Each structure stands twice: as structure tokens, then as C-alpha cells.
A and B are shown apart, each in its own frame.
Chain A
């Protein structure tokens, strides 16, 4: 009886374990092994940490990573600021059908692929595009304005892509906030700002952290948006990985970059958790 139960448990777990093992753990192990091989001569490889050393000794690569990480943190912060009032409205103010409607509106852009959404931004922002035309029509500019191919456009595209993933955990967290607690805050003479700062935000903290982790990880690993909207000066770290794998045929170097991206962004997330004094456990429950 007991062993039959255990067998059922294993059988039920099997798909999840197979999924994790075959599609996530195994490829990562292979990438890890690959990242420690160095080309000696055609078809001859030796083991060594040279690919990792290359990252730290060649300023180009770690600067690209630092740039990517800083911009991703920036994007996460903007997304949070934009998403908070929206989530608050959806969770606390909107009722019934309006609520569902609003969530649907947030979800709608995600029914088309990321590539199409990004191309949409390109049409709006390019020199001969909609925004440039409107600016001229309103007399705010006397010649075509190029809004594409710069860091601002990349940040815009990434914030747009991350918004939903911030709103959902935030709204979730805010929904469980007791209205009576907020009322008590006001009764005790707290201003709107004080109530927001001392009651609402602390309550939403797990949601904030969960949303921030998701948005940060999605942003730092994004490829299409920075490639399409970014300019000649902005290289995203994922582009370096792509270049090593596809155009330089240097798989070991690309693999090392991939592992470094995983490692360094995990460290940033860990540092973020420590700074906000959140544990991964509560955050995951919220997400």
C-alpha cells in the first residue's frame, strides 16, 4: 500500500523532473563544461579557465555587462514606479467587470509576439515615423526628429515589455490588504503619504520584490528589443553571447559569457533581496 503510494507520487512527479532535468539542468551542465574548453588548434581543444579570464581582462566585455546590469536595474525601477499606481487602482478601486477589463487591457499587447511589438515601436519612433510627423505637424520641431537607435528607446521598449510582469504580482499583493488597516491609519491622523509609506508599501513589499526580480531577469536576458531599438553605441550583453556563438563560431567563449550572465544576475538578485530584507521564500509565494 505504502509503496504503491510512493510509486504514484514518483509517477506524478516524473514529468516535472524530466522537464527540469532534460531541458534545464542538463543543457546548463553541458554549457558549463563547454565554457571551460579552449581552442588550441583546429579540432583540438584543451581544458582551462581562459574564457572566464577573458571576461575580466578585456574591459570591453565586463563593461558591456555592467552597462546591461545598470540599465536593467534602471528599467526595473521605472517599471515599478509606473506599475504601482496601476496595480493599486486595479486591486483597490476597480470592481467586478472593470477590474477584469483593466487586467485584460494590460494583457492584450502580449497576445502578439515581442518582435511585432518592438517593430511597432520602430514605426512610431523612426525619423519618418508617427511621433516625428506629429511633432512637426504641431510645430514643435522644424525638421524630422530621430527618436530611435538610442538608449532611451531601448529603455522605453523594455519598460513596456516588463510592465505586465510587474502589475500582476503587485496587484496580487495589494489585494490582500485589509481596508480597515488603511482606515485605521487615516483615523490615527496619518496623511495620504504616510499611509502609503508606512502601510501600503510595506504590505506590498513581497509583490514589489517578486515583480522586480521577474522584470530584472527578463530585461537582463532580453535580446530582440535592445538589438532592434538600440543604436550603434549600445551593446546588450546577450548580443555578445549571440556574437560569440553565431558570428565568431567561438562556442566556449559564448558558453562562458552565458554562465557569467546567469551567475552575475543571480548575485544582483540576491543582493537586492538582502538590501530589502526579503527572503526568497515569501517572495516566491507572492509571485
Chain B
């Protein structure tokens, strides 16, 4: 039982907390981003230079969109969804604000990547996103225990039964479509053909399911299983593969024969962001080569910042060179913008995959 006095104390403490919560007068940037994209030392340096405090919330693509949708684009000042997840959700929910490109120092970006991202995130002639970090989805393989895994389909081979993993998410559908001789991106705007294609992929994956230990969700969970040998091959992000490779050279990130999937995470401003100035400042600050190189090293990925690659440490470069010979780079499949409605088709296939036995 709460005594009267204790209750009073609690109420006072609560009131004090609320006052403290609203009283912080310093300018603030509320950033919704991925893990490792805003390392503590970079944030400190930004606050020192500009006086703006950065409040970080970590998330993933789907949750970012869902969070913004729930508030119709309020609650954050800057978000970092992947470039293919901007135009569709914007058309559907109106959660972003057009960017004022003139406020960005465009020579800080790799020109071709900036143009491609702008093109993909344009809706009704307005640009909604600029590139920040990029990387690929491919295979993390323990080359000692699973020497023959070279393409997505090899995850289904009997040799590694019960020791493979992939996510029950859209990249897996796309990857297995490519691996089985289809081109999903070409059918993006033809729902009927796309449904037929996804059903084929779904059947393939259902057959492959017996090989899967679990559909991974959190990156750390997967990396732990790969470390312990419980899983020997998985479809996953390059950065995880290179991290494990640094710990154990037998584990490698392999660009699959049918092509790694290339993603670009962007900067976008939510429709009801309250501090656009701070958002532009953060973008320009982050694209400076020396800052971008540090962030890229922390995330273990590559950056769209022009010139940062020269500042990057040798290790990641070597790992990239080993995983991606010239032909593999040319074979990277870059995601085009996801049209509205496509994800519903994929959703049903994925639901069936997860529920069926």
C-alpha cells in the first residue's frame, strides 16, 4: 500500500521530472536512424560545433515508416530510410517533406550516387531523399564447414541442412527470384506478373525451409549463431560478414553468383519535423569526408561522401576487394523504388512461408 506521504513524494518527483523534461532549452535534433550510424564521438563533435543536441532513436525501415505514419510525420526531425522505401510510403501516407537541395553541399556527395538516389526518391517532381550509407545483402559463409555455398540457392542444399538462415523479409524474396532466373524489378509495375513470380519464389522458399534453423531478425542473434557454428551460411548484410571475418578468417562475406543486392540508406525529413535547419546542418556535417569516414568505419559500411574512401582504414577495403571482384560489383542489383501495393503481395507470401510447416 502506498502511504499518503509516499504518494505525495511520488507525485512531487513526477512533477519535477515533467518540468525537467520540458525545461531543456538547448536546440535539439531528433534523429531516427539505424544502429551505428551516429557514433557517440561524432554526435559530441556536432554538438560542440553547432550547439545542437542530438537525440537518437534506433530503428529499421518498417518501423521508421510505421512510427512516422502513426504521427503523420511528427516526432522526429530527420530519418534514414532506404532509398527504395521513400517514394511509395510518401505517396501512400505523406510522411516526408520535400528537401531543399540548395541547402545541401552537393559536392560533398559522390555525384552518380546522389543523382541516382534523387531520381529514386522523387515524387511529383520533388526530391525527398539524399544518400548517406550504402552496402549490400549477400551471403555470410563459414568456408570451412560450408565450402560450397556460392549463391542464394545453395542455402537450400542438403549439405548444410538445419544450419542455414535468412530473413523472412522482402530482400529474401528478391534474392531468390534473381537466383532462380527471374527479374523481380522488371515486374515491379505489373502486379499480376509480380504476384505470379512471388508465388514461384514462395514455393521455392517453402521447399528450402527445412534447411533453415530460424528466420533471423536481429543482426546480433545471427552473428552469434555464426560465431558458435550453429549456423554455417546465411543471407545477410556485408557489414556483419566483414565483422565476423575480422574475428575468424574462415568466415567470409560472399557476393552471390546471381548478384548481391545493393541498398542505400538516405537522409529524409519527416513531414512535421520541427528543426529543418538542424537537419540540414547534420547532413552537411555528416557528409564531410573525415566525418563520413569515421561513421562508415563504425557502421562497417560505405558512405556516399565524396573522398571519404581515401580516408578509410585498410582492413575494410581489403575485405571489400576480396568479396567483390570487378564482375561482382557490376552484378550488384540496386533496388529501384518500391511502388505502392507491392509489399502487400510480398506480405502474403511471407506470411505463408512463416506459418506453413
B65 cross-chain contacts in A, Cβ below 8 A: 249
Interface residue ranges of B178-234 to A (CB < 8 Å): 209, 212-215, 217, 228-230
- Residues of A in contact (CB 8 Å), total 28
- Mark out the residues of chain A between 239 and 274 whose CB falls within 8 Å of any chain B CB in the assembled complex: 239-240, 243-250
| Contact assessment for A235 and B344 in the assembled complex, using a CB-CB cutoff below 8 Å | no
> B343: which of A61, A239, A240, A248 is its contact (CB, 8 Å)?
A248
Give the distance in Å from the alpha carbon of A200 to the alpha carbon of B93 in the complex.
Answer: 59
A250–B347 touching, CB < 8 Å: yes
Please name all residues of chain B whose beta carbon is closer than 8 Å to the beta carbon of A233 when the two chains form the complex.
Answer: 209, 355-357
Whether, in the assembled complex, B354 has its beta carbon less than 8 Å from a beta carbon of chain A, the answer is yes
List chain A residues, Cβ under 8 A from B354: 232, 235, 239
Q: How far is the CA of A122 from the CA of B214 in the complex (A)?
A: 13
Given the known interface contacts A42-B92, A232-B212, the answer about A249 and B351 at a Cβ–Cβ threshold of 8 Å is no
* Residue in chain B with minimal CB distance to A61: B351
Q: Is B272 an interface residue (CB 8 A)?
A: no
Asked if A286 lies at the interface with its beta carbon under 8 angstroms from chain B, I say no
Given contacts A128-B230, A232-B209, A233-B357, are A249 and B343 in contact (CB under 8 A)?
A: yes
Q: How far is the CB of B256 from chain A (nearest CB, A)?
A: 21
How many chain B residues have a CB neighbour from A under 8 Å? Answer: 33
Q: Are B93 and A240 neighbours in the complex by a CB distance under 8 Å?
A: no
Question: Given A42-B91, A128-B230, A232-B212, does the pair A60, B347 have CB atoms closer than 8 Å?
Answer: no
A172 proximal to B (CB < 8 A):
no
Assess whether B288 is interfacial by the CB under 8 Å rule. Answer: no
A247: which B residues are within 8 A, CB to CB? 62, 169, 343, 347
A-side interface mostly: loop
B69 contacts A60, C-beta separation under 8 Å: no
Is B89 part of the contact surface with A, judged by Cβ < 8 Å? yes
Residues from chain B with a CB closer than 8 A to the CB of A245 are 66
In the complex, the answer to whether A60 meets B355 with C-beta atoms within 8 Å is yes
Q: Please report the C-alpha to C-alpha distance between residue A240 and residue B228 in the assembled complex, in whole angstroms.
A: 31
Contacts of B209 in A (CB 8 A): 232-233
What distance in Å separates the Cβ of A236 from its nearest Cβ neighbour in chain B? 10
Interface 1/0s, chain B 336-354, versus A by CB < 8 A?
A: 0000100110011011101
Residues on the A chain within 8 Å of B63, using CB: 246
Bound state CA distance, A233 and B168, in angstroms? Answer: 12
Whether B230 and A126, one on each chain, are in contact in the complex, defined by CB atoms closer than 8 angstroms, is yes
Q: How far is the CA of A164 from the CA of B347 in the complex (A)?
A: 37
Chain B residues with CB under 8 Å of chain A are 62-63, 65-66, 69, 89, 91-94, 162, 169, 209, 212-215, 217, 228-230, 340, 343-344, 347-348, 350-352, 354-357
Other A-B pairs beyond A232-B215, A247-B169, 6, CB < 8 Å: A42-B92, A58-B348, A232-B213, A232-B354, A246-B66, A247-B62
- Can you list 24 contacts pairing A with B, beta carbon distance less than 8 Å? A42-B91, A43-B91, A43-B94, A60-B351, A60-B355, A60-B356, A63-B355, A126-B230, A128-B229, A144-B230, A232-B209, A232-B213, A232-B214, A233-B355, A235-B354, A235-B355, A246-B62, A246-B63, A247-B169, A248-B347, A249-B65, A249-B89, A250-B344, A250-B347
The 7 lowest CB-CB distance pairs between A and B, nearest first, are A248-B347, A233-B357, A235-B355, A247-B62, A128-B228, A127-B230, A42-B92
